[in-house]
Chain A
Amino acid sequence: MKTFIGRTLAALLALGSVSTALAEQFDDGLAPSYYDTFKGKKVVFLPLAMSFDLPQVWAKAMETQGKRLGYDFSVRDPNWSSDAGAQALTTLITEKPDLLVVHNPDMQVYARLLQRAQKEGIPVIQINLKSVATTDAYVGVNWYEVGLHQAKMAVDACSPAAGKSGKIAIMQGTPTNPNNAITMTAIEDTLAQHPDIKVVSSQSADWDATKAHAVASTVIKQNPDLCAYVGLWEVMDAGVAAAIREAGKTGAIQLITNGGGQKPACDNIENGTFNGYVSYDAIGQARDLTDAIAQVLQVKATPGSQPYGIYTPIKDISRETMRANSCWTMEDVAAAPF
C-alpha cells in the first residue's frame, strides 16, 4: 500500500513538474527575461551574526525570494567576529558569487574588500550600516535620522515650556561604533537648538544591559527630576528600564529607544516600559533588500558604477500611535511574500 501511494505521489509530482515546465510565461515583453535573470544565480549573505532578529528577518526574506525566483541563497555567519567576516569575504571574492549582501560591523573594516569584490565583477549590496566604500546599493536605516527622531521625542516630552524639568540622560552603546557616533551627532545637533534641555548624563554601556542598569540606577538617584532617558538600542535599554522600574519611576521618566520593531518592542510600549520607540522596521527593510537584489541582478551594470540608496522610512511608535501592525513577529516574516 505504502509503495502504491509512494508511486502515485511520485507520478503526480512528475506530472506537476512537467506541467510547470510546459507552462509558458506570458510574454509581456519583460517578464520572461526577468525570470531568466535569476535562474541559477548565487547570492551570498554575510551578516554580523545570525543570532539576532535583523539578519534572521533579512535572510528569511532572501531565502523566500530565492525559492520564488530560482536563485541559490546561502549565508556565511561570522558570529560577531569581523576577522572571520573579512576572511569569509576574501574567500567569497575568489568564489565569485553573482551578488554579495553585506552587513558591515563598522565603516572601515570591510571597505577595501568590498571595493575589491566590485573590481572582480561582483556586485555588492550593503545593509543597515554603510561602509565608507559606496557599493551598488545601500539598503538600511539612516542612523542620523534615528538620532533626530529620538532627540525630538525627548525634547517634546521634556521641554520646560510644557512644564517639565528639561533634564534628560543618554545611554550610549560603544562610542566608537559608527551607528552610535552618527546617532549621537544627530542628538547633539538637535539639542544644540534647544538650550533649555539639559543632558545630565551621557554614559556608555557597551550595548550591555547589565552595565546600562548599573549606570541608569545611579543617574536616576542623582537626578530625582530626570524627565527622559534616551537609549541607543532596545536590548541594552532593558537595563535602563529595569532601573526606572526599581526606582518606581515608570512613566515619570520617559524611556526613548530604537530597534527593529519586533513584537517584544510593542509589548514593552504597551506595558509602559518604553515610552517612545524609533523603529527601522526590519520587515520593511527585508522587502527593500529583496527589491534591491532584483534590481541589481537585472540592471547588470558594471559593479559600483551606479550606486543607489534605499533609506528605510522609519516609524515612531508610542502607546498612542501604536497599531496592530506596528511590530512584526518571525511568523509574519515567514508568511510574508518576498
Chain B
Amino acid sequence: MSASQTEQRRGGFKLTQENIVFFIALLLFIGFSVLLPGFFDTSNLLSLVQNVAILGILGIGMGIVVIGRGIDLAMVATMALSTAWTVALINRGFGTGEAIGLGLAFAAAVGIIMGVLVAYVEIPAIFATLAMSTVIYGFGRLALVDLDVIYLPDNAIWLRSISNSFLGVPLPVIWFSVLAILAYLFLRFTKWGRYFYAIGDNRAAARITGIPVRPMTVIQYLISSIIAFGAGLITASLLASVNIRVAQSTMVYDVILVVVLGGIGLSGGKGGVRNILVGTILIGILLNGMTILDMPFTMQNIVKGTVLLIAIIVDSLANPRDEQTAQQGDI
C-alpha cells in the first residue's frame, strides 16, 4: 500500500509526486486548450494518446519490474530485436503466426535469462540488464537480422491491421488501455501482484514470510520482456518497418522517465498503474503541445528537462527524504 493511497483513504490531500505531476499535466492541458487552436479536439487528443501509447505500454512493463525493486534496461533492446526477428522471418517466408511465436519465444527466453541472472546469480538488476541489452543487440545483429531497418512485407495483413483504428479510436490506444486495466487488476488483486509489492518493499521480510522471492523475480522480467515484444509488434505494424537502432537509443530512459515521473520510486514497493498513466499523459501533452507550437528541437529538450526538474524539486520539497527512505537505497 503506497503512502499516497493511505493518505487518500484518510480523506486528506497530500502533495505526492503523482499529484504534482497530475497537476502540472492538468495545467498544461488547460493552458494548451485555451491558447492553442486545434489542441482540444477529439482527433488531436486521440493522436496525443496514440503517440505515447507505445511509451505507456513499455512503461507498464517497466513499472511492474520497478515495483519489485528491479529495473529492466534491456527492454527496448528486447523489443527491437524480437520484433525485428519476427519481421525478418516473415520476409523469409514464415507464416505470420509462426514468426510471432518465435519472436515471443525469443523475448521470453531473454526475460527468463535476465530474471535468473538477477534472482539466482544475484547480479544487481541495473548491471545484469544493462549487460543483457548489449548482448541482445549483439546477438541479434550477429545471428538474427543483418540490417538496421527491416520492412514489413505487404502480405502480413493482420499484423498490419493491429494498428488500425476501431470506431475512430486508434487500436494502439485500445491496446494501451486494455494492458493498463489488466496490469491494474493483476497488481491489485492477484497474489502474484501483491507479492511484487512485498518483494519491492522489503525483500528479506518477503522471503521470511514465505514468498517465493526468486521465482517471482524471474516472472517480473518475463512479463516485462513479453510486454516489450507486444509494444514492438504494435510499432512494427504502425510504421510497417522495424529499426533496431532504437536498441542503442535513449528510449529506455524515456520509459524509466514516465515510470519515475508518475511517482513509482526506484526503491520499489510503491505506486501502481495510475502513476504510469499520469507520467505518460504529461509527456504526451508536452510533446503534442510543443509540436503544435512548432517549437525547435533544442527548445523542446529544454522545456522537457525543465518540467521534469520542477516535478522533482516540488516533490523533494513536499516529501523530504528521511532516514528511512535514504536507507532503502534507491538508484
Given contacts A204-B297, A221-B47, contact A209 B241 (CB under 8 A): yes
Distance in Å from the Cβ of B239 to the closest Cβ of chain A?
5
Check if A219 sits within 8 Å of B149, measured CB to CB. Answer: no
Check if A209 sits within 8 Å of B243, measured CB to CB. Answer: yes
- Which residues of the partner chain A approach B235 to less than 8 Å between Cβ atoms? 210
- Which residues of the partner chain A approach B244 to less than 8 Å between Cβ atoms? 51
Stretch at the interface among B13-21, B36-44, B95-103: B36-44
- Which residues of the partner chain A approach B41 to less than 8 Å between Cβ atoms? 221
CA distance A203 to B52 in the complex (A): 17
A235 within 8 A of B: yes
Within 263-319 of B, Cβ neighbours of A (below 8 Å) are at 287-288, 291-292, 294, 296-298
Distance in Å from the Cβ of A243 to the closest Cβ of chain B?
9
Given contacts A217-B47, A221-B43, contact A51 B148 (CB under 8 A): yes
- Which residues of the partner chain B approach A218 to less than 8 Å between Cβ atoms? 44, 47-48, 51, 288, 291-292
Distance in Å from the Cβ of A270 to the closest Cβ of chain B?
11
Distance in Å from the Cβ of A208 to the closest Cβ of chain B?
7
- Which residues of the partner chain B approach A201 to less than 8 Å between Cβ atoms? 291, 294
- Which residues of the partner chain A approach B43 to less than 8 Å between Cβ atoms? 221
Check if B151 sits within 8 Å of A264, measured CB to CB. Answer: yes
Within 137-181 of B, Cβ neighbours of A (below 8 Å) are at 141, 146-149, 151, 165, 170
Check if B298 sits within 8 Å of A175, measured CB to CB. Answer: yes
Check if B291 sits within 8 Å of A239, measured CB to CB. Answer: no
- Which residues of the partner chain B approach A217 to less than 8 Å between Cβ atoms? 47, 50-51
Check if A203 sits within 8 Å of B240, measured CB to CB. Answer: no
Hey, what's the 0/1 contact readout for B226-254 against A, CB within 8 Å counting as 1?
00000000010011110111101100000
For the residues of B in contact with A, the DSSP-based class is helix
Distance in Å from the Cβ of B103 to the closest Cβ of chain A?
18
Nearest A-chain residue to B137, judged by Cβ: A79
CA distance A238 to B298 in the complex (A): 23
A200 within 8 A of B: yes
Check if A239 sits within 8 Å of B239, measured CB to CB. Answer: yes
Hey, what's the 0/1 contact readout for A31-70 against B, CB within 8 Å counting as 1?
0000000000000000001011100000000000000000
Distance in Å from the Cβ of A45 to the closest Cβ of chain B?
17
A246 within 8 A of B: yes
Distance in Å from the Cβ of B136 to the closest Cβ of chain A?
14
- Which residues of the partner chain A approach B243 to less than 8 Å between Cβ atoms? 208-209, 235
B54 within 8 A of A: yes
Check if B297 sits within 8 Å of A52, measured CB to CB. Answer: no
- Which residues of the partner chain A approach B298 to less than 8 Å between Cβ atoms? 175
Distance in Å from the Cβ of B233 to the closest Cβ of chain A?
13
A222 within 8 A of B: yes
Contact of B239 among A172, A238, A264 (CB under 8 A): A238
Distance in Å from the Cβ of B104 to the closest Cβ of chain A?
21
- Which residues of the partner chain B approach A241 to less than 8 Å between Cβ atoms? 240
Contact of B238 among A51, A175, A213, A221 (CB under 8 A): A213
Say which size band chain B's interface belongs to.
Answer: 35 or more
CA distance A252 to B169 in the complex (A): 22
- Which residues of the partner chain A approach B170 to less than 8 Å between Cβ atoms? 246
- Which residues of the partner chain A approach B149 to less than 8 Å between Cβ atoms? 52, 235
For the residues of A in contact with B, the DSSP-based class is helix
Check if B38 sits within 8 Å of A221, measured CB to CB. Answer: yes
A80 within 8 A of B: yes
Distance in Å from the Cβ of B139 to the closest Cβ of chain A?
14
- Which residues of the partner chain A approach B291 to less than 8 Å between Cβ atoms? 201, 203, 214-215, 218-219
Identify the interface centre among A175, A238, A264: most chain B CB within 10 Å of its CB: A238
Check if B47 sits within 8 Å of A49, measured CB to CB. Answer: no
Distance in Å from the Cβ of B223 to the closest Cβ of chain A?
23
- Which residues of the partner chain B approach A206 to less than 8 Å between Cβ atoms? 249
Hey, what's the 0/1 contact readout for A281-303 against B, CB within 8 Å counting as 1?
00000000000000000000000
Check if A246 sits within 8 Å of B141, measured CB to CB. Answer: no
Within 27-71 of B, Cβ neighbours of A (below 8 Å) are at 38, 41, 43-44, 47-48, 50-52, 54
CA distance A210 to B225 in the complex (A): 20
Identify the interface centre among A49, A52, A214: most chain B CB within 10 Å of its CB: A214
Check if A52 sits within 8 Å of B148, measured CB to CB. Answer: yes
Within 180-232 of B, Cβ neighbours of A (below 8 Å) are at none
CA distance A238 to B87 in the complex (A): 16
A242 within 8 A of B: yes
Distance in Å from the Cβ of B94 to the closest Cβ of chain A?
19
CA distance A306 to B309 in the complex (A): 54
CA distance A209 to B238 in the complex (A): 10
- Which residues of the partner chain B approach A82 to less than 8 Å between Cβ atoms? none
Nearest A-chain residue to B292, judged by Cβ: A222
Check if A208 sits within 8 Å of B246, measured CB to CB. Answer: yes
Identify the interface centre among A200, A235, A264: most chain B CB within 10 Å of its CB: A235
CA distance A222 to B8 in the complex (A): 39
Check if A242 sits within 8 Å of B44, measured CB to CB. Answer: no
7 closest cross-chain pairs (CB), A and B: A214-B51, A204-B297, A51-B148, A218-B291, A217-B47, A209-B239, A222-B38
A sample of 28 cross-chain residue pairs with beta-carbon separation below 8 angstroms, ordered by A number, consists of: A51-B141, A51-B147, A52-B148, A53-B147, A80-B248, A172-B297, A175-B298, A201-B291, A201-B294, A204-B296, A204-B297, A208-B249, A209-B239, A209-B241, A210-B246, A213-B51, A213-B238, A214-B52, A214-B287, A214-B291, A217-B47, A218-B51, A218-B288, A221-B38, A221-B41, A221-B43, A222-B38, A246-B165
